[in-house]
Structure 1
Amino acid sequence: MKQLFGIIAFGFLLFIPLILVSCQSSTQYPVDYEQLSEDQRIVIRFSHVVGEDTPKGMAARKFAQLVKERSEGYIEVQVFSNGTLYKDGEEMNALQRGDIQLIAPATSKLTNLIPEFAIYDLPYAFRNYEEVHAYANGEVGLTLTEKLNEHNLISVGIWDSGFKQLSNSIRPISHYSDLRGLRMRIMPSDVIEQQFVTVGANPKRIDFNTVFNQLQEGNVDGQENTLSNITSKKLHSLQSYLTISNHGYLGYFLLFNLEFWNKLPKDVQTLLTDTLQDVQQWQWQFAEEMNEEKLQDIENCSCIDVNYLSEEDITEWEKAYIPVYDYYRKNYSDKYVNALPKFSN
């Protein structure tokens, strides 16, 4: 009897490891991708030149956070704001080389590669955000973004900064003739340059990250930008007059390095594009609300004289800018101008 009990006990001891192995193989433990090295994860370096508290800066951080959550840490978006990694004039070359994987440059920054992108720089080309988005995602707009593929770039969305306003330290700008003789900082765009030359101003192409110093040192008299960018860099603190003109749209195309993008697995591409679509919808609303909030802040601070253009004023300004449209038609293409809402409706 004792011998039989010993045999049963020995058999049971042999069976315990089999039970443990079986239980262990059926248990699915979550993978902690954050513990993987950078070489084992997918790392996307996202460089931009504006502040973290701007619509672009906030959206970049939101995108990084959502991608981390949705990929369980397998995809990491590293955001470098304020030009800390690459300056205004450096990031495009860095992206094309593959040193970084994602940027969100202003539309005017694309004109060096594809001059027709200056369509977005035309004064009073769009009256609201909806018109911009419809144009960018329409047939003619998409033909522009597809041209980026020839430069090892792919567009995956568009984010708003807002509509541009004018500030300066010399005099109030109520009529376009008030711009005559003023040295105005602009982004690198032949069309924007023509916009200011047409009304007698002296445009100066200056990188965004140095605008504050240039204004402070008196090298330029004024500038144009969205209220979120103006306030984030405290440019209004150096200026005496602000004109709410809404004369031009400023937005950012989100660009991946095409070679990097094509090497990503399809499921990763889907995760990124789906997330970008979600962030884009949020960003559009946030940008509009933030610019309204910043205008109210400026009104309340009583730190700068604020002037508003009336509808009659805007009509007069539009007529003054007709030569800028003629310049675009002559140098680029009629089809991009003819597709604008003001001409196609």
Structure 2
Amino acid sequence: MLNPHELITALTVYGFILVGMMIFLSGCDIKKYPMDHEQLSAEERIVIRFSHIVGENTPKGLAARKFASLVKERTNGFVEVQVFPNGYLYRDGEELEALVQGDIQMVAPAMSKLSTIVPEWEVIDLPFAFQNSKEVREYLEGEKGKSLLHLLEKSGYHPLGVWDNGFKQMTNSIRPLVNPDDFIGLKFRIMPSSVIQNQFQQLGATTHSNSFNEVYKLLEKKQMNAQENTFSNIVSKHLYSLQDYLTVSNHGYLGYVVLMNQDFWNQLPEDIQSIIQETMDEVTKWEIERAEQLNDEGLREVETCNCIDIHYLTEEEKQRWEDALRPVYKNFADRFGADYIKSLPKNK
């Protein structure tokens, strides 16, 4: 089997051929293409490499496979979306650079990761900023959300859709997390976001932003003793088997923006662009429902396993957490102004 670097080199050769072909095809009508595209060689098809770092049975993993299948079906095999899950091609943190360089054509990074390109995206990470995923989508469809998406486009990325994972919960192996003081001294694995880092600093915990695929080993080796994640991620990676306490807090949202390389997108024929976007819109609706279902199933699994102590945050406890985390909002406003915060649902 080729290693990732050899695979990229081989696929890149095809890429150069495809670029020339796509320039030619951009002036053609899709109806003039051969109908039996399955008979075309790899060099003659449009190949889209879609890299992501989570498992295939997560909301993102399932949606990526569904998207690839539908695009292949609707283009009669002319467009082939090759999905590489579990960080097979690129590790967490490497995908965005690979995308903008054209080594891959699609990714679906967590919104927290987008802050490495557009720091203002960290507004989505603010604790208790949203009550449900519908509020997140409405925010992104509003003035400030459109501004965030436009800033991605200016940086060489073409947003295709927004996928859900769900709301994050807290787990650790030391003590129940009920009051803000319970966080003192814990070592949390987090995603790379200064807002998330500041959140845990305010609570007295230390943080490390290792790759998602390293979390299990870090917990197993006790290099970390805590983490935050959605139920679907906690269950799919069996993280709960290494933790003793879980707090159902719904304190932060975890979602993805599906991105394509902007130059690659611009070279696609208009008919192909339409098929891709229409398929993405359809899959996005399906993914949102599937994410909710998988998180509900994940909660039921940890509830019935009798292997972890579960605490459900009460409204009074939630208010104490929010009070302790108010400085996180002030720090964000000091960096980017208050407009992004004023547009949040909780402030309307």
TM-score (norm 1): 0.90
Q: Return the alpha-carbon distance in structure 2 between the equivalents of residues 185 and 172 of structure 1.
A: 17
**1:150 Cα offset (Å):** 2.1
Give 3-state SS (helix, strand or coil) of 1:256's partner: strand
Gaps of 5+ in 2: 1-31
Counterpart of 1:252 in structure 2: which amino acid?
A: Y
1:96 corresponds in structure 2 to 100
Distance 1:37 1:90 in 2: 30
What amino acid does structure 2 have at the position aligned with 1:306?
Answer: I
Residue 118 of structure 1 corresponds to which residue in structure 2? 122
Q: How does 1:1-345 map to 2 (within 5 A)?
A: 31-344=35-348
How far apart in 1 are the matches of 2:336 and 2:42?
44
Match of 2:7 in 1: none
Displacement of 1:140 in angstroms is 1.2
Select the structure of larger CA radius of gyration.
Answer: 1
- Deviation of 1:89 after TM superposition, in Å, equals 1.6
In the alignment of these two chains, the number of paired residues is 317
For 1:295 and 1:72, the matched residues in 2 are separated by 40
Matches of 2:173 and 2:242, distance apart in 1: 7
Structure 1 alignment gaps of length 5 or more: 1-27
| Residue aligned with 2:116, SS | coil
Taking only the aligned residue pairs, the percentage that are identical comes to 52
CA distance in structure 2 between the aligned counterparts of 1:123 and 1:253, rounded to whole angstroms: 19
The question of whether the paired residues in 2 share the 8 Å contact of 1:157 and 1:253 is answered with: yes
Contact in 2 for aligned 1:116/1:333 (Cα 8 Å): no
> Mean alpha-carbon deviation: is it higher for 223-232 or for 35-44?
35-44
Structure 1 counterpart of 2:23: none
CA distance in 1, matches of 2:49, 2:275: 17
Report the Cα distance in structure 2 between the residues aligned to 1:164 and 1:291, rounded to whole angstroms: 10
- How many angstroms apart in 2 are the aligned matches of 1:333 and 1:281? 33
Quote the RMSD (CA, aligned, Å).
Answer: 1.3
Post-superposition Cα deviations, 1:223-266, rounded to whole Å, max 9, x if no partner, equal 00101011111111111011100000000000100000000111
Structure 2-normalised TM-score?
0.89
Further displaced range: 162-171 or 132-141: 132-141
Q: Deviations over 1:118-157 (max 9, x none)?
A: 0011000100111011011222101101101222111111
Report the CA distance between 1:178 and its aligned residue: 0.6
The residue type equivalent to 1:292 in the other structure is: D
* Aligned structure 1 segments of 4 or more residues deviating by more than 2 angstroms: none
Query: What is the distance in 2 between the residues matched to 1:269 and 1:315?
Result: 46
Q: What is the SS of the residue equivalent to 2:158?
A: strand
The answer on whether the counterparts of 1:183 and 1:201 sit within 8 Å (CA) in structure 2 is yes
The superposition leaves residues 98-128 of structure 1 with CA deviations (integer Å, 9 ceiling, x where unpaired) of 0000000001101111100000110001001
1:75 corresponds to which letter in structure 2?
Answer: V
